[in-house]
Structure 1
Amino acid sequence: MPTRREFLAASAALASGGLRPPLAKARAADVAVTGAANPALAPFDDLLTGFLKDHAVPGAGVAVARNGRLVYARGFGHANVEADRPVEPLSEFRIASVSKPITAVGVLRLVDAGKVKLDDRVMKHLKFEVPAGGPFDKRWNDVTVRHCLHHTGGWDRGKKGGFDPIGTPWKITDALGLKRAPAADDVVRYMLGKPLDFEPGAKMAYSNLGYLVLGRVIEAVTGQKYEAWVRANVLKPVGAAAMRLGRGLPGDRPKGEVRYYDSKKRTAECLYPPRVRETVPLPDGGQNVEGFEAHGGWVASPVDLLRFTCAFDHGKKSPVLSEAAIEQMWARPDGPAGRDAEGEPRDAYYGCGWMVRPVGKSGKVTTWHNGLISGTSALLVRRSDGLNWAVLFNTDATAKGEQPASLIDGSMHTAADAVKTWPDTDLFERL
């Protein structure tokens, strides 16, 4: 997962609406392309074929929606290079931290139902026993649901001595005496025995742990497992119930999921049977994907990701959230999460599960999220003008070390602005 500095730097560049580079010329002959072509949307074809060729990216899935209609869905390059299998429009990718908006919507759905309040203390819902040998920091009692949504809960992996527990699965396994890879419950239980890095609400520090805590709140309130409840109550109502949590080993994944390519060809000891402790590629069992869950564990096609995203379009009645809940999702947080050191409103801020940029005094916002883990780079954008897109890659960096999602962001705006005529058809009805 990206560090706090990497996330904030990437987020500052994403969906900026600022510098938009010129489009590359199409080189489709050099890049496999699937899905229906539409000459009116050639700027996207030009961009993606040129991007994959120029940056040696294995594959990408791209979907674009306009005013709630899916107008573009294509695959580029290889889902599996070794098998010469192309990316299809419905190929599925790990979406990493683009999972956070999904968890946030689940929490807000419970707020709508009156089962959770944003200012509930999370310890009201968590009933874990503190691990042996780990003193309980009483400041945990001050952490609220709102804090976790806004990344102000008290955890800062970027400070000296700080760490992100999702990156230390073997340490947690040993500390808790587990005979398997740590699940999300185990990570939270382990961290209940660790001190916070700052007073809850005192600052904003991007935290995967906070979203794992929210997953535990969802389970405690609903009495159901996180994945099952979210699929039934968040994803099924928008037609995206095919989305699911990812699996570590290639053999445990469905045929439609892509293969993942770590940019540095890193390896690690496998966390999952029957290959425990064997050396494997990092994306194929060397990172605890199955424990990422509520902060970064979902797998989706770009099309299904847009089914989810379009459910919150401005002026459209959502099948998932009330108008008030959607307003809350985009609202500027109080304090340092929404304002700078001088108390001035930030141009962009982290709302409830999304980066948010208000657009003038229109009341509209552009929102987005990016995601990064070994073998995955993901981008989800909701533009204030009704355009939404998802771009998913099966690698984490280019040969120069650049994150594909961040690198392509400005060019996606350029391509969208270059379209002269938008189709009236809705590919959601066909795919």
Structure 2
Amino acid sequence: MKYRLFLGLLLALAVPNSYSRTWTEASSGKKIEADFVSADASSVKIAVRGGASFTLELSRLSPEDQVFVQQQITPASRAVLSESKIKDRFEEVKKLTAEEIPVSGEEHPALTTVDAAVRQFMVEKGVPAVTFAISKNGKIVHDRAFGWADSAMKTPLQPGVKMRIASMTKPVVKAAIQTLIAEGKLKAEDLVFTVLDLDQYKEAKGCDPHWKNVTIQHLLDHKGGWDRDTSGDLTTRSTLMTDLFRLKPDELEPMHVVRYGLTLPLDFDPGAKEVYCNYGYILLVRVIEKLSGQKFVDYLQLTVCKTAKAPSFSLSSSDARERQAGEIWYCYHPEYPKEQVPLPFRTEARDGAGVLACTAADYCRFLGAYWISGLPRKPGARYSYTFNGSHPGVTAICAQRADGINYAAIANRREGGKTDWNSDLRKLIDAALNPVAAELE
């Protein structure tokens, strides 16, 4: 079908020359003849017949294509790129002792070793700012801020600052969906294609027929049919989407992501298996807005945030110039070695996948009112759940423990595209918290 094409746009033959080659998409094996134009460390620009050019993320291409691209980059360029990857903008944090990391806020006397663990994490990783809160049986007992409120590392950070929570947005989306279900406005078995009237969009014409079998519950359970392990995360293909809709990077919106997804085949039958999926949660936010008649954050404030007594939740923006007052700065290195405005990674366009920001204390309040599944918590129920968040500029973790303790820790940096820091931070906090947990009252 015309929209299921390599590049998500068209198939065309290039004008042959010494740089013409057959390019192969790694996930699908689809091929296209096109001319090499230029490249950098993460993407390549190619041109097809007629002069149209497109920029592709290298990660989408076959290993052979990636090797070819690297060979086209000049030795001088490779040296610059290599240096920019290695250089750590916050090497000075690693030179500090844990005790030199500034810390402020409400402290529980039993948790000095937990604070020490957070500071040690910051020194080891070069993380300039962390907010951290712990609650016990619904009461905040520890609300701390570590590091600096500015990238110059001159002003100590204070509690109450909002930080982006990345994928920890998803439990909040779940709670909003469960609220709609409790209000009788939605059923778990409702079909997403029908609820959102997706057939109104031209991209839906001739789309994968399995699309029409995807339910709300499938999206909640990450069983919608999209497998980022085989096809990659379609929500990150910002260049393809801006090319498809002829947009500037900062014009990309969530509905463009939804419509781009309509052009692609599903990776498996809905409900057949569970694979973590950002795209499904962008769809769920569209459902929330459609059925509530309100913007996502407005509905949250009137429902989930009101119930949890957690008013700080708001939408974050990729660029600092557009952020609301009270939200922290983010270190985008090493994903973006050089400052880029606007950023190609549009947090706003991936709203349900990771757009929310809040204080660490308010996330603990949310955890006290709702399970990570999104269902309201009932008095006396004790289970253990954990969840992580990670994207450029964010490492975030949270926990609901069977002993009534909840915690949330949010850092303003991560290790490239990796998520190792999430588990590293959790291990340090748990190891320090477990011996003193019984002392928290």
TM-score range, shorter chain: 0.7 to 0.9
Task: Pick the aligned partner of 1:383 from 396, 401, 422.
Answer: 401
How many residue pairs get aligned? The number is: 344
CA shift, 1:77, in A, is 1.2
SS in 1 for 2:202: coil
C-alpha contact 2:316 2:324 (8 A) present in aligned 1: no
Residue 237 of structure 1: CA displacement?
A: 2.5
Q: Of 216, 220, 240, which aligns to 1:171? A: 240
What is aligned with 2:340?
280
Q: 1:27 Cα deviation (Å)?
A: 5.3
Q: Which residue of 2 aligns with 1:411?
A: 428
Equivalent-residue separation in structure 2 for 1:211 and 1:220 (angstroms)? 14
Q: State the distance in 1 between where 2:300 and 2:153 align.
A: 33
User: Match for residue 109 of structure 1?
Assistant: 179
What does 1:77-116 align with in structure 2 at a 5 Å threshold? Answer: 77-82=147-152, 84-116=154-186
**2:321 aligns to what SS in structure 1?**
helix
Alignment of 1:258-273 (within 5 A): 258-264=328-334, 266=336
For residues 297 and 418 of structure 2, what CA distance do their matches in structure 1 show? 33
Match of 1:13 in 2: none
1:369 aligns with 2:361: no
Contact 1:92 1:299 in 2 (8 A): yes
Q: Name the residue aligned to 1:153.
A: 224
The question of whether the paired residues in 2 share the 8 Å contact of 1:62 and 1:75 is answered with yes
Within 1, Cα distance between the matches of 2:297 and 2:247?
Answer: 22
2:305–2:366 contact (8 Å) kept in structure 1 = yes
State TM-score, norm by structure 1. Answer: 0.73
- Greater alpha carbon shift after TM alignment, 414-423 vs 53-62: 414-423
**Equivalent residue, structure 1, for 2:86:** none
Give the letter for the 1:143 counterpart.
V
The residue aligned with 2:35 is: none
Distance 1:135 1:194, change over 3 A: farther
Q: How many angstroms does 1:72 deviate by?
A: 0.3
Distance 1:215 1:389 in 2: 25
Higher relative contact order (CA 8 A, sep 6+): 1
Among 309, 313, 316, the alignment partner of 2:367 is 309
Within the alignment, does 1:292 sit opposite 2:361 as a pair? Answer: no
Q: Secondary structure at the match of 2:132?
A: strand
Q: What pairs with 1:15-414 in structure 2 (closer than 5 Å)? A: 29-82=99-152, 84-128=154-198, 129-132=200-203, 135-159=206-230, 162-178=231-247, 181-264=251-334, 266=336, 280=340, 285-312=343-370, 364-397=382-415, 403-414=420-431
SS in 1 for 2:265: coil
Letter in 1 for 2:425: I
SS in 1 for 2:148: strand
CA deviation string 1:279-304 (max 9, x = no partner): 607xx623101112111100111011
Aligned to 2:20: none
Which amino acid in 2 is paired with 1:305?
A: Y
**Alignment RMSD (CA, Å):** 2.8
1:87-127 CA distances to partner (integer Å, 9 max, x unpaired)? 22212111100000000011111111121111111112111
CA distance, structure 2, for counterparts of residue 133 and residue 38 of structure 1: 55
CA contact (8 A) 2:214 2:224 kept: yes
Unaligned runs of 5+ in 2: 1-58, 60-95
1:410 maps to a residue whose letter is: K
Provide runs of 4+ in structure 1 moved above 4 Å.
320-323
Deviation string, structure 1 residues 289-345 (Cα, Å, up to 9, x no partner): 11121111001110111111111379xxxxx9556xx79xxxxxxxxxxxxxxxxxx
Match of 2:49 in 1: none
Q: Tell me, in whole angstroms, the C-alpha distance in 2 between the residues paired with 1:27 and 1:262.
A: 23
Question: CA 1:125–1:39 in structure 2 vs 1: closer, same or farther (change >3 Å)?
Answer: same
Question: What is the Cα deviation at residue 249 of structure 1?
Answer: 1.4
Gaps of 5+ in 1: 4-25, 269-278, 315-319, 328-361, 425-431
The residue identity in structure 2 corresponding to 1:303 is A
CA shift in 2, pair 1:224/1:408, >3 Å = same
- Compare the two structures and name the one with the higher helix fraction: 2
How far did residue 385 of structure 1 move? 1.4
Q: Is the 8 A contact 1:166 1:288 kept in 2?
A: no
The more displaced of 36-45 and 205-214 is 36-45
Distance 1:196 1:364, change over 3 A: same
Letter in 2 for 1:199: D
CA contact (8 A) 1:62 1:74 kept: yes
Contact 2:395 2:411 in 1 (8 A): yes
